[in-house]
Amino acid sequence: MIKEERYELILKVLENDGKAGYDDLAIKLGVSSDTVRRDIAQLNKMGILSKIRGGAAVRSILSFAFQDRAQEFNEEKNVIALKVQQLIESGQTIFMDGGTTNCAVATHFPVDVNVRVITNNIALLPILSRFPKIEIIVLGGVYFRELEVNAGQLTCDNIAQYVADLYLMGACGVDHAMGITASLREDGETKQAMRCAARKTVVLGSQKKLGIVEFFKVADLSEVNVLVTDLPSTHHSLNPYRSLVPQIK
């Protein structure tokens, strides 16, 4: 079990019980109490829970509500979402594009996260609006109902007005030979524009997306900075990507 899977289980216990002790969590996870202490320390540092004497507790009513919301997403997306939290820093400007993976990422944001999010993802807005310190900039464009995003030339023109510290890219396909691809041209063009306007691009792709090639080319893997999957970073399935992407998480 990788650490993000442990994180997810810890959060599920807290969702049900409100708080839990180190020893109880160790038994539930099948790991040592020291491992649980390290996990809780990291989750506390990320702002997702609170350390209490002898264990951990839900940080606030707001974060508890978000854990309920997170049940909408499968385990793969939640593992990716927890990995991404380590890349989020206060004061960042972040591009977040379409897809449910970015919605999962947002549900795991710390309650007091202080960032600016620029997005074309309409489904993301109700989630982001619950965070009082997030500034939300919504990109214009043509609304694509099937993807719940704004896209098209106006969207790309809007993107060009900004510079982001971080771009969280939801991927339709990630292949070691063909790179990152999208199933809709307008969506792919949005991704290209965000990548060009961001200092750092992080590709979010579950193991199901690896080896998938869609018809529209977004970028080569050498043009992005980090690949985040739900697999352990040492997993053999990621071997073809190691020489292509600077960092795999």
pLDDT at position 70: 43
More confident residue, 38 or 226: 226
| CA distances for 211 relative to 208, 225, 239, angstroms | 8, 19, 12
Distance in angstroms (rounded) separating the CA atoms of residues 133 and 114 = 5
8 A C-beta contact, residue 207 and residue 237: yes
8 A C-beta contact, residue 181 and residue 217: yes
Annotated domain spans of the chain: 3-59, 73-248
Give alpha helix (H) positions in 2-74.
Answer: 3-17, 22-29, 33-45, 61-70
Distance in angstroms (rounded) separating the CA atoms of residues 72 and 82 = 15
pLDDT tens per residue across span 119-140: 999 999 999 999 999 999 999 9
pLDDT tens per residue across span 2-49: 888 888 888 888 877 888 999 989 998 899 999 999 988 888 877 677
pLDDT level of residue 228 (50, 70, 90 thresholds): very high
**Equal CATH topology for 3-59 and 73-248:** no
**Helix, strand or coil for residue 80?**
helix
Q: Is the pTM for the entire model greater than 0.85?
A: no
Q: Is the pLDDT of residue 217 over 90?
A: yes
Residue found under tokens 């807005």: 125
DSSP secondary structure string for all residues of 13-27: HHHHHSEEEHHHHHH
- The CATH code of the domain at 3-59 is 1.10.10.10
Nearest CA-CA partner of 221 in 243, 249, 239: 243
Question: What's domain 73-248's architecture?
Answer: 3-Layer(aba) Sandwich (3.40)
| CA distances for 35 relative to 45, 99, 234, angstroms | 15, 33, 19
Mean pLDDT of 204-228: 95
More confident residue, 222 or 19: 222
